[in-house]
Amino acid sequence: MNYDHKFIEKKWQERESFEVEEDSTKPKFYCLDMFPYPSGVGLHVGHPRGYIASDIVSRYKRMQGFNVLHPMGWDTFGLPAENYAIKTGVHPKITVAENVAKFKAQLKQLGLSYNWSREINTTDPNYYKWTQWIFLRMFEQGLAYEQVLPINWCPSCKTGLANEEVVAGKCERCGANVTKKNIRQWVLKITKYADRLLEDLDLLDWPEKIKEMQRNWIGKSYGADVLFKLNNGKEVKVFTTRPDTLFGVTLLILSPEHPLVESVLSELDNKQDVINYLEETKNKSDIERMEEKTGVPLSGLFAINPVNGKQIPVWIANYILSSYGYGAIMSVPAHDQRDYEFAKKYDLEIIEVVSGGELPYTGEGNLVNSGSFNGIKSSEAKDKIIKEFDSVTKSINYKLRDWVFSRQRYWGEPIPLIHCEKCGIVPEENIPLELPEVENYQPTGTGESPLAAIKEWVNVKCPKCGGDAKRETNTMPQWAGSCWYYLRFIDPDNDNALVDPQKEKYFQPVDLYIGGSEHAVLHLLYARFWHKFLYDIGVVSTKEPFLKLKNQGLIMAYDGQKMSKSKGNTVSPDEMIEKYGADSLRLYEMFLGPFEESVAWNDNGLIGTRRFLEKVWSINLVEGNIEDRLLHQTIKKVTKDIEEFKFNTAISSMMILINEWVKTGTSRENFDLFLKLLYPFAPHISQELMKDSDLSWPQFSEFLVEDDVTTIAIQVNGKFRDSVQLAKGLNQQEVENIVLEREKVKKWVSGSIKKVVFIPDKLINILV
Ligand code: ANZ
Ligand code: ZN
């Protein structure tokens, strides 16, 4: 009989079901994939890499007796469907439904063991009812607030962006240069959670790289606030990490957006220069502003250094960010790289105050030119200076900003708030507040969403006083729905609660979370924030949502480039499954290389895993029960490898075993043990061939795997040159043959061999 993958895969995909319910008699395992945004072009072979890995772990855990929750859903709000609607007039709802259907069919073909009855979709009103519900609870607690902000503005998408959505000064979505715009926004107070978001990283089994990115993003710095008095009677506060350098301050610099600038313009001797400079920087993106440091003095204004009374000039400069610290700095050119470059460029004073090296010197050292603090170590001087001067106070600063949470777009969750002139902002408790139909999806570009144009929707009666009121027309950002979706899988149809507390206690937290590392500071930080809020209001029982995180590496195209439709280098899984079968594809994607590394796709490799399965298909079964050391070693190895996410080496050890069995055949019983090992990787063929219907994970015999390998030291003329792992009990000739083939040994063995000293299982010494 031929290996007919199409028939077999269809058969088992129809037969298998992975529905779970909470069951207090069984341990649970919650294995989650980052749910996809289903795009119009469908999956390419790079996408399922993570899904296959999570499927292997899910099947493996089930075999070990865990009650495995392994769900899938769709993250369907966001710009692509909306941009498509703008272009074609097709409602995003329709586009989304089509894309979901396509993705789902593709995932099903791969034989992924999802609990499909728990499928969720973030644009389903029954789902976003609860996204709105969480927002309302945050609003009640003062965690969602309104603010007029100079926000990141994408002139092409015509919407505001969060800091996390601006990559190197460009819009994460469309690549346009991001500018600033003053606009009324809803903001979430993620900063209130900064310390907990930082500290609780220690509870997580996540890649160190991701944790470090979150730490840097939160960016906690210890230092001091320093108050500088100005000659016009006003004051400017700055944040510094180096209060020990205060005697070296030669300049006070404000960001162009600093509120003081506007108010002192009329007092300046060079008013027009300053106005010109402000005009010039306003039109530049952050990235352009970072390219070359420029500035202009505020002539006529000077500040007084609180530690020595010295008068110092006040400037504005483009490299001072309005959004960090207080938007103003004390400039110490002798010990800060940026200040040094700036002072050199404009020929400003430079005073060394920490001795230790060439300027700018940014290290530790003893203070000089610092009055009574001379000779003190800079590390100690920090606290001493803070103690000594009232205008210098201990302070902590974070890079993390509050999360700009509103978007001026159509295809997002409506923010369920009502503006009433009499009552202020009133929550809309009648949720879900559904998106109305619109005729035009085009953003207005005025800072209002297309919803603002729908009068019947906007104009409402105030729920409090019954008077005329208006709905909020901003919508939520695309990240909202993914902040809590892992909770809804636990209880997807609950109409009365976001999640039933009993069920939540059973299934939370997510034990294993698999997805791309591009979410390091976006989704993964936002979700932790919402989770902590839900913990505080008693909705969830764990401090953190995702215990263990694994990031899959990318699958690159043949040409080593990222796969993308536009480059025309994508490979479709449909075609590969049709030709070679889902089992071959699953094996190949895991065999390609270490899970967390990028690897290049190659069709030939897929032919290799297909051949392997054909060998499995036609293994010769012999009578009797044979004790098989290699089988038991393979069981041990595959078990360990799955635990360690080394799917590629697990597969190669199964290949070694099969190559052996091609020569020797094996017993029915041994073959069934092997098929169980293969099952998580290639579930269809293994079930087709299995006689034993009990799907429990095989145990290896300790006796059979016991130390039958040994390390033999290799010497040449008594000098250690190499070592090799070999089976125990080989005789001198066998070991000699192997050893003499090794490169490291060949190098030393020239001419004829005079004598060989051999200690079995331990050492071989070749004398030449
Ligand atoms: C004086 C000084 C002397 C500084 C020195 C550094 C070295 P981190 O560590 O990232 O928190 N700074 C403060 N606010 C700023 C702003 N709005 N835009 C640009 N730079 C700003 O950085 C803190 C340091 O960044 C602060 O300490 C300040 O420069 C600068 F030898 O103050 B420092
Ligand atoms: Zn009212």
CATH number at residue 582: 1.10.730.10
Ligand 1 lined by 323 (C-beta under 6 Å):
no
Structure confidence by residue, pLDDT tens digits, 323-371: 899 999 999 999 999 999 999 999 999 999 999 999 999 999 999 999 9
User: What is the percent of the chain with per-residue pLDDT over 70, rounded to a whole number?
Assistant: 99
Whether 299 and 388 share a structural domain:
yes
Whether 716 and 681 share a structural domain:
no
Is the per-residue pLDDT at 277 higher than 80? yes
For ligand 1, atom 5: residue with the closest CA: 336
Atom of ligand 1 nearest to the CA of 335: 31
Note the pLDDT of residue 338.
Answer: 95
Atom of ligand 1 nearest to the CA of 362: 31
Whether 641 and 681 share a structural domain:
yes
573 phi and psi angles, rounded to 5 deg: -65, -30
Cα separation values, 212 from 201, 396, 403, Å: 9, 19, 20
Whether 253 and 376 share a structural domain:
yes
Whether 262 and 381 share a structural domain:
yes
Last-in-domain residue among 556, 587, 612 = 556
**What would the mean pLDDT of 294-316 be, rounded to a whole number?**
97
177 DSSP 8-state letter: B
Ligand 1 lined by 398 (C-beta under 6 Å):
no
Report the domain count for the chain.
Answer: 4
639 DSSP 8-state letter: H
Beta 468-471 vs 719-727: how paired, if at all?
Answer: unpaired
Is the per-residue pLDDT at 223 higher than 90? yes
Closest CA to 242 of 97, 130, 382: 382
CATH number, residue 281: 3.90.740.10
Among the bound ligands, name the one nearest to the CA of residue 326. Answer: 1
Mean pLDDT over the full length of the chain: 94
Greatest mean pLDDT among 83-97, 156-170, 533-547: 533-547
Q: Which two tokens stand for residue 421?
A: 């002139």
**What would the mean pLDDT of 277-298 be, rounded to a whole number?**
84
Is the per-residue pLDDT at 165 higher than 90? no
Among the bound ligands, name the one nearest to the CA of residue 363. Answer: 1
Note the pLDDT of residue 455.
Answer: 92
Which of 214-218, 304-308, 419-423, 727-731 shows the lowest mean pLDDT across its residues? 727-731
Among the bound ligands, name the one nearest to the CA of residue 317. Answer: 1
Indicate whether 499 belongs to any domain: yes
Indicate whether 200 belongs to any domain: no
**What would the mean pLDDT of 478-502 be, rounded to a whole number?**
97
Among the bound ligands, name the one nearest to the CA of residue 460. Answer: 2
Give the mutation target among 238, 324, 332 for probing the ligand 1 site: most ligand atoms within 8 A of CB.
Answer: 324
Distance CA(347)–CA(404), nearest Å, equals 40
Cα separation values, 96 from 41, 121, 124, 421, 528, Å: 12, 10, 11, 38, 27
Structure confidence by residue, pLDDT tens digits, 30-65: 999 999 999 888 899 999 999 999 999 999 999 999
What global pTM score does this model have? 0.86
Whether 25 and 79 share a structural domain:
yes
Structure confidence by residue, pLDDT tens digits, 606-622: 999 999 999 999 999 99
Ligand 1 lined by 335 (C-beta under 6 Å):
yes
Among the bound ligands, name the one nearest to the CA of residue 427. Answer: 2
Structure confidence by residue, pLDDT tens digits, 503-516: 999 999 999 999 99
Whether 245 and 378 share a structural domain:
yes
User: Do residues 378 and 278 touch, judged by C-beta distance below 8 A?
Assistant: no
Residue 287 alpha carbon to ligand 1 centre in Å: 18
Residue 429 alpha carbon to ligand 2 centre in Å: 14
Indicate whether 604 belongs to any domain: yes
Closest CA to 654 of 629, 635, 626: 635
Q: What is the dihedral of CA 564, 566, 567, 571, to 10 degrees?
A: 50
Indicate whether 698 belongs to any domain: no
Whether 66 and 117 share a structural domain:
yes
Ligand 1 lined by 332 (C-beta under 6 Å):
yes
Q: How confident is the model at residue 269 (pLDDT cuts 50, 70, 90)?
A: very high
Closest CA to 658 of 676, 674, 639: 674
**What would the mean pLDDT of 645-650 be, rounded to a whole number?**
98
Is the per-residue pLDDT at 715 higher than 90? yes
User: Do residues 60 and 542 touch, judged by C-beta distance below 8 A?
Assistant: no
Domain that holds residue 733: 709-767
Strand order in the sheet with 512-515: 67-69, 28-33, 512-515, 549-551
Last-in-domain residue among 556, 580, 615 = 556
Q: How confident is the model at residue 17 (pLDDT cuts 50, 70, 90)?
A: very high
Neighbours of 276 (CB within 10 A): 12
Distance CA(339)–CA(251), nearest Å, equals 9
Indicate whether 147 belongs to any domain: no
Is the per-residue pLDDT at 287 higher than 80? no
Ligand 1 lined by 240 (C-beta under 6 Å):
yes
Residue 332 alpha carbon to ligand 1 centre in Å: 9
Among the bound ligands, name the one nearest to the CA of residue 466. Answer: 2
Q: How confident is the model at residue 631 (pLDDT cuts 50, 70, 90)?
A: very high
**What would the mean pLDDT of 453-477 be, rounded to a whole number?**
95
User: What is the percent of the chain with per-residue pLDDT over 90, rounded to a whole number?
Assistant: 78
H or E stretch including 469?
strand 468-471
**What would the mean pLDDT of 700-728 be, rounded to a whole number?**
83
Note the pLDDT of residue 381.
Answer: 97
Q: How confident is the model at residue 196 (pLDDT cuts 50, 70, 90)?
A: very high
Decide which of 273 and 720 is more confident: 273
Q: How confident is the model at residue 87 (pLDDT cuts 50, 70, 90)?
A: confident
Give the mutation target among 225, 241, 397 for probing the ligand 1 site: most ligand atoms within 8 A of CB.
Answer: 241
Ligand 1 lined by 687 (C-beta under 6 Å):
no
Ligand 1 lined by 245 (C-beta under 6 Å):
yes
Indicate whether 462 belongs to any domain: no
**What would the mean pLDDT of 465-479 be, rounded to a whole number?**
95
Residue 760 alpha carbon to ligand 1 centre in Å: 67
Is the per-residue pLDDT at 283 higher than 80? no
Structure confidence by residue, pLDDT tens digits, 523-534: 999 999 999 999
Atom of ligand 1 nearest to the CA of 223: 27
Atom of ligand 1 nearest to the CA of 324: 17
Note the pLDDT of residue 477.
Answer: 94
Residue 453 alpha carbon to ligand 2 centre in Å: 22
Ligand 1 lined by 639 (C-beta under 6 Å):
no
Whether 58 and 12 share a structural domain:
yes
Distance CA(265)–CA(642), nearest Å, equals 67
Is the per-residue pLDDT at 115 higher than 90? yes
Q: What is the dihedral of CA 664, 665, 668, 672, to 10 degrees?
A: 90
Indicate whether 402 belongs to any domain: no
Q: Which two tokens stand for residue 733?
A: 């000739």
Is the per-residue pLDDT at 624 higher than 90? no
Indicate whether 141 belongs to any domain: no
Last-in-domain residue among 693, 723, 748 = 693
The SS3 of residue 170 is strand
Atom of ligand 1 nearest to the CA of 332: 3
Whether 525 and 631 share a structural domain:
no
For ligand 1, atom 29: residue with the closest CA: 240
Structure confidence by residue, pLDDT tens digits, 550-566: 999 999 998 888 888 88
Note the pLDDT of residue 596.
Answer: 96
Whether 306 and 248 share a structural domain:
yes
Residue 468 alpha carbon to ligand 2 centre in Å: 7
User: Do residues 332 and 280 touch, judged by C-beta distance below 8 A?
Assistant: no
Q: How confident is the model at residue 707 (pLDDT cuts 50, 70, 90)?
A: low
Ligand 1 lined by 471 (C-beta under 6 Å):
no
Is the per-residue pLDDT at 93 higher than 70? yes
In SS3 terms, 563-619 reads as: CCHHHCCCCCHHHHHHHHCHHHHHHHHHHCCCCCCCEECCHHHHHHHHHHHHHHHCC
**Cis peptide preceding 509, ω within 30 of 0:** yes
Q: How confident is the model at residue 178 (pLDDT cuts 50, 70, 90)?
A: confident
For ligand 1, atom 27: residue with the closest CA: 240
Which of 175-179, 227-231, 298-302 shows the lowest mean pLDDT across its residues? 175-179
Whether 41 and 93 share a structural domain:
yes
Residue 136 alpha carbon to ligand 2 centre in Å: 17
Q: How confident is the model at residue 633 (pLDDT cuts 50, 70, 90)?
A: very high
Q: What is the dihedral of CA 236, 242, 243, 247, to 10 degrees?
A: -90
Give the mutation target among 307, 329, 362 for probing the ligand 1 site: most ligand atoms within 8 A of CB.
Answer: 329
Note the pLDDT of residue 284.
Answer: 74
CATH number, residue 757: 3.10.20.590
Distance CA(253)–CA(266), nearest Å, equals 18
CATH number, residue 529: 3.40.50.620
